[in-house]
Amino acid sequence: MTAVLDTEGLTKRYGRRSALSDCTLSIPSGHVVGLVGPNGAGKTTLLHLAVGLLQPTSGTIEVLGSRPAESPAQLGRVGFVAQETPTYEALSVADHLNFGAWLNPSFDAEMAGRRIDELGLDLRQKAGHLSGGQRAQLALTLAIAKRPELLILDEPVAGLDPLARRAFLQYLMESVAEHELSVILSSHLVADLERVCDYLVVLVASHVQVVGEVEGLLASHYRLSGPRRDPSSLPSSQEVIESSHTERQSTMLVRIESPILDPAWTVEEVSLEDLVLAYMGRASDAGRVQRRSGRAFR
Amino acid sequence: MIRFAWRQFRVQAAVAVGALLVIAVVLAITGPYLVSVYDASVATCRANRGSSATCMNGVANTYHFLQGALDALVLVVPALIGIFWGAPLVAREFEAGTFRLAWTQSVTRSRWLATKFGVIGLSSMAIAGLLSLMITWWNSPVDSVNANRFSPATFALRGLVPIGYAAFALAFGVTAGLLIRRTLPAMVATLVGFVFVRIGTTYWVRPHLFAPMHEASAITSSSVVGYGSTGTIFFGSGPSTVQLAAPNIPNAWIYSTQIVDGAGHVAGPQLVSSICPFLGHGGPGGRGGGAGHTEAPASAVQGLQECGARLGTKFHELLTYQPASRYWAFQWSELAIFLAVALIVFCYCVWRVRRRPA
């Protein structure tokens, strides 16, 4: 099966600042992919490269086996909901449905109309007068009604209150189940994605830190605690992601390939949030070292 | 895509068509009266056998304010199209972030831009064309009396050229919006750029579209009508020299009247004043002030006649001009130039939006 997203050394630079550095990824289809990272990590850059709103400085990117935005057909296979879900303020909800229908040959107008009905949106309402949650739902409806194979959402729930957030994600998951979509959605909060994602990409400071199925990641990361010990003395099959030490005790979050045999350790499972935070912490420590040595620009 | 481009443009188009209708009504009401004034003036002139130069003044004085307002309208409409339709076309999408919505539908960016450009461009040309047509028709009595259709204040406001200006202004505005990405600065850039191009065309391009014609004639005692200097506000005034009578060729574009010897050399101001040393010294010759026309004293008139007679022995007058028959050739050429530039700019925008999206 072709990958939904396949990148090779993908890099985007603005002047001397790197927004995305040497990103190599291959995400299989049929997943709901969470793209997590702090603000400014390059999430939006990666997603914009994937929908063809940006061109890479170097490296290659393929989405569903083709160059992003290379043809109307390719554009039709990818749905996109941009950050802050932009809509045409002066145009009504009905105009937006027409917009979707006129610009997408595969647009399912009946489904979109039904969805707008369910949401209780007034067709004559100007999009500029919708609440953030309503606007997000409208944008999502447009993106899903064009019947894409892959749906890409950039921070879709960032501006929404908890209730709107739940409704949005619920509709998203219903659509995924109904239309067998692959989804990539980004957020700076793991908690937003924990319930919906089965695949994770962590992006920090323009570099990809970790990629994989959530289940596999949780099965290969553990928190070890035991007598104080130098992290570098661990076996090579155990990669230390995060460590903290008190006078007598060490706690480490490690990635392992084989079972832990050392009886000195107490082994605990980690949550997805802990895992992501550990990778983010490691990356920003590395960033700080780089900054101090004056090599990193940002 | 055409339907959506049209949906977004509907309101502006309606405003423009409404304005055109209002103008059409005003012109339809006032036009016939202007024609009747013209016919009456022609009759008066014929009755007086043309002895009075003021017999046609009635036409210029009829709806004087409206004449000025309509000319101003044709002058600014292309600029307004560039500023309010061109500059925001892409810049607004950038500012509102809606380009992320528009450019991720199943229509490529280049087709999106080409379609919007096409819909608004053709509408702009139609609007400018209709406006120019109506105003050219309404002004035909005035223009016929003025008999100066090549004058910069008339040529650019009649006939075909406003269509070219509108197309160019729109293309310029779209480009400014695409490159600057912010609406207001793009609007300012469009205004400045368009004004510059229009002035540049008027003074540096239009005069060179066709090689002017020359006509030689003898200088007689009645040829010299004054002494002084001429110039434009751009280049200042030159040294004083004799001024020859303006040739009476209706609607022609007079480039210059020069004093030339048999070998074709132009007699400069110094040479002229060495031949006519008595001119320009004392006497109020030609110094009528701005307030009105005062008769020059007899001595000054005599001096001018004397000078004309002296110059006539060695020199002749060389007229450089464009004949009135070339009016439409100039109109078509300038239209073609502006449309061609607009098309090139259009292609650049489409290429640019494909290569460098955001």
The pLDDT confidence band at residue B145, using thresholds 50, 70 and 90, is confident
Q: Nearest by CB to B105, from A87, A104, A139: name it.
A: A104
Any A CB within 8 A of B358 CB: yes
The pLDDT confidence band at residue B8, using thresholds 50, 70 and 90, is very high
Mean pLDDT of B329-346: 97
Q: Nearest by CB to A82, from B97, B105, B356: name it.
A: B97
DSSP state of B86: I
Interface test with B, best of A47, A99, A126 (most B CBs within 10 A): A99
From chain B, the residues in CB contact with A83 under 8 A are 97, 100
The pLDDT confidence band at residue A287, using thresholds 50, 70 and 90, is low
pLDDT at residue B223, rounded to an integer = 78
The pLDDT confidence band at residue B4, using thresholds 50, 70 and 90, is very high
pLDDT at residue B230, rounded to an integer = 63
Interface test with A, best of B2, B3, B98, B106 (most A CBs within 10 A): B106
Say yes or no to pLDDT of B102 above 90.
yes
Q: Closest Cα of chain B to A59: distance in Å?
A: 16
Cα separation, B197 vs B200, in Å, equals: 5
From chain B, the residues in CB contact with A82 under 8 A are 97, 100-101, 104
Say yes or no to pLDDT of B269 above 80.
no
Name A86's Cβ contacts closer than 8 Å, sequence gap at least 6: A139, B96, B97, B98, B100, B101
DSSP string, chain A: --EEEEEEEEEEEETTEEEEEEEEEEEESS-EEEEE--TTSSHHHHHHHHTTSS--SEEEEEETTB-TTSSHHHHHHEEEE-TT----TTSBHHHHHHHHHHH-TT--HHHHHHHHHHHT--TTSBGGGS-HHHHHHHHHHHHHHT--SEEEESSTTTTS-HHHHHHHHHHHHHHHHHHT-EEEEEES-HHHHHTT-SEEEEEETTEEEEEEEHHHHHHHEEEEEEE---GGGS-TTEEEEEEEE-SSEEEEEEEESS----TT-EEEE--HHHHHHHHHHHHHHHHHHHHHTT----
Say yes or no to pLDDT of A52 above 50.
yes
Mean pLDDT of B112-125: 96
Q: What is the CA radius of gyration of chain A?
A: 21
pLDDT at residue B187, rounded to an integer = 97
Cα separation, A254 vs A242, in Å, equals: 7
Give the burial class of A157: count Cβ atoms within 10 A of its Cβ; 0-12 exposed, 13-18 middle, 19 or more buried: buried
Judge whether B176 and B84 are in contact, CB under 8 Å: no
Residue given tokens 């030689």 in the structure block: B216
Cα separation, A48 vs B110, in Å, equals: 17
Mean pLDDT of A233-258: 85
Give the tokens for residue B213.
């014609």
Any A CB within 8 A of B94 CB: no
| Interfacial residues of A (vs B; Cβ cutoff 8 Å) | 48, 51-55, 69, 71-73, 75-76, 78-80, 82-84, 86-89, 91, 95, 98-100, 102-106, 139, 142, 146
| pLDDT, mean over chain A | 89
- For residue A187, give the nearest of A36, A27, A292 by alpha carbon: A36
Cα separation, B6 vs B142, in Å, equals: 38
Return the ∠ at Cα A251 (arms to A250 and A257), rounded to 5°. Answer: 115
Tell me what percent of the residues of chain B surpass a pLDDT of 90: 59
pLDDT at residue B236, rounded to an integer = 61
pLDDT at residue B289, rounded to an integer = 41
pLDDT at residue B281, rounded to an integer = 57
Mean pLDDT of B134-154: 91
Q: Closest Cα of chain B to A103: distance in Å?
A: 6
From chain A, the residues in CB contact with B15 under 8 A are none
Q: Nearest by CB to A86, from B98, B108, B111: name it.
A: B98
Give the tokens for residue B52.
């009075």
The pLDDT confidence band at residue A295, using thresholds 50, 70 and 90, is very low
Whether residues B4 and A103 touch (CB distance < 8 A) is answered with: yes
Mean pLDDT of B17-41: 94
* Stronger pLDDT, B40 or B78, i.e. the higher one: B78
- The per-type count for chain B, helices as H runs and strands as E runs, is 12, 7
pLDDT tens digits for range B274-303: 887 777 654 444 444 444 455 667 777 788
pTM of the model: 0.88
Looking at A165-179, B66-80, B219-233, which range is the least confident one? B219-233
pLDDT at residue B287, rounded to an integer = 42
Mean pLDDT of A69-76: 94
Mean pLDDT of B299-323: 84
pLDDT tens digits for range B204-247: 999 999 999 998 888 887 777 777 766 555 556 666 777 777 77
Q: Nearest by CB to A104, from B97, B106, B358: name it.
A: B106
Name B327's Cβ contacts closer than 8 Å, sequence gap at least 6: B149, B150, B251
* Stronger pLDDT, A296 or A94, i.e. the higher one: A94
From chain B, the residues in CB contact with A87 under 8 A are 98, 101
Whether residues B104 and A98 touch (CB distance < 8 A) is answered with: no
The pLDDT confidence band at residue B75, using thresholds 50, 70 and 90, is very high
Beta bridge partners of A223: A253, A268
Whether residues A86 and B8 touch (CB distance < 8 A) is answered with: no
DSSP state of B266: B
Give the burial class of A142: count Cβ atoms within 10 A of its Cβ; 0-12 exposed, 13-18 middle, 19 or more buried: buried
From chain B, the residues in CB contact with A89 under 8 A are 96
pLDDT at residue B161, rounded to an integer = 97
Judge whether B65 and B176 are in contact, CB under 8 Å: no
From chain A, the residues in CB contact with B114 under 8 A are none
Say yes or no to pLDDT of B309 above 90.
no
Whether residues A88 and B8 touch (CB distance < 8 A) is answered with: yes
pLDDT at residue B265, rounded to an integer = 83
Whether residues A103 and B1 touch (CB distance < 8 A) is answered with: yes
pLDDT at residue A65, rounded to an integer = 92
Q: Nearest by CB to A55, from B99, B100, B356: name it.
A: B356
Say yes or no to pLDDT of B350 above 80.
yes
Q: Nearest by CB to B108, from A51, A72, A106: name it.
A: A72
The pLDDT confidence band at residue B261, using thresholds 50, 70 and 90, is confident
From chain A, the residues in CB contact with B100 under 8 A are 48, 53, 80, 82-83, 86
**What residue of A is the nearest CA neighbor of B7?**
A95
pLDDT tens digits for range A104-123: 999 999 999 999 999 999 99
Say yes or no to pLDDT of B16 above 80.
yes
pLDDT at residue B231, rounded to an integer = 59
Any A CB within 8 A of B281 CB: no
Tell me what percent of the residues of chain B surpass a pLDDT of 70: 90
Whether residues B101 and A82 touch (CB distance < 8 A) is answered with: yes
Judge whether B17 and B126 are in contact, CB under 8 Å: no
Distances (CA, A) of A154 to A87, A211, B2, B241: 15, 18, 28, 75
pLDDT at residue B290, rounded to an integer = 42
Interface test with B, best of A80, A102, A141, A146 (most B CBs within 10 A): A102
Q: Nearest by CB to A86, from B4, B7, B96: name it.
A: B96
Say yes or no to pLDDT of A2 above 80.
no
pLDDT at residue A259, rounded to an integer = 76
Give the tokens for residue A180.
């067998």
Say yes or no to pLDDT of A215 above 70.
yes
